[in-house]
Amino acid sequence: MAHIISIINNKGGTGKTTTTLNLGSALSQKGYKVLLIDFDSQSNLTSALGVNKVENHIGKLLLNDLSLKEVLIPLNGLSLIPSTNYLLDYEYRINNEPGREYLLKETLDPIQSKYDYILIDCGPSLGTFAINSLVAADFFIVPMQAENFAFIGLDKIIQITDKVKKRMNPRIEMAGILFVKFSTRTKFSKAVFKSLVNNERFKHKVFETKIRTDISLMESTAFGENIFSYAPNSRGAEDYMDLANELISKYGKK
């Protein structure tokens, strides 16, 4: 059965899409079968994978307008369920569905045995789609930058995930907090990291791997490539492979 992992943060620009793309690519390179789901109306993951002019997408799939076979896109070593810029229109429709929080889980249950990992790229909100991802997931990862007010957003995510765990998905666990765009040279970054590691609640939930600042990570998504095909010898490639290894060591399929 696949490990389903939600990549979530209610703030934009925290590296959710970059992490979904490159963690998924790293796992694929290690021989695992990986499905990526773009659950963001900005469709950045879909674009980063070189998929354009999407007509069949996650919104139609959740509403049973289309079958999984019609929506699923096989790519080089990965599979993708794409998003669309019109996804928010579908969220309004989904809000009227009975049991709307369980739609993604119902969609993924029949295909879990076909994959080793399913990674969900969430949008920068904690609305219906984000709740769907948490109800379906076994784990969630919170990418965040070492900056002011990072803890405020983290507290909100923990409040929501605790409610989901209590009311809808008792198996969900935090896989870890992932520092992205991390500068190893600044005292402030190190101080934020240290404060989180020393926090009683989170000290065992911070990934040892940090995704260092690397222009190649930004460039690769702009050119529709993952970091391993665009710059295989870069810091970004090294860091995301390290993250994949750490994830497998702690929670994954050995």
| Domains delineated in the chain | 3-251 (3.40.50.300)
Phi, psi of 109 (to 5 degrees): -50, -45
Confidence of residue 148 (pLDDT cuts 50, 70, 90): low
Lowest mean pLDDT among 45-59, 102-116, 138-152: 138-152
Is the pLDDT at 52 greater than 90? The verdict is: no
Confidence of residue 150 (pLDDT cuts 50, 70, 90): low
37/223: higher pLDDT? 37
DSSP 137: -
Residues above pLDDT 70, as percent of the chain: 97
pLDDT at 101: 96
Is the pLDDT at 174 greater than 60? The verdict is: yes
**56-115 residue pLDDT tens:** 999 999 999 999 999 999 998 899 999 999 888 888 899 989 999 999 999 999 999 999
Lowest mean pLDDT among 92-96, 142-146, 188-192: 188-192
pLDDT at 254: 53
Average pLDDT, the chain: 91
H or E element, residue 61: helix 58-62
pLDDT at 244: 97
**Rounded Cα gap, residues 11 and 26, in angstroms:** 25
Task: Report the side by side order of strands in the sheet with 34-39.
Answer: 73-74, 78-81, 34-39, 117-122, 3-7, 139-144, 173-179
H or E element, residue 197: helix 187-197
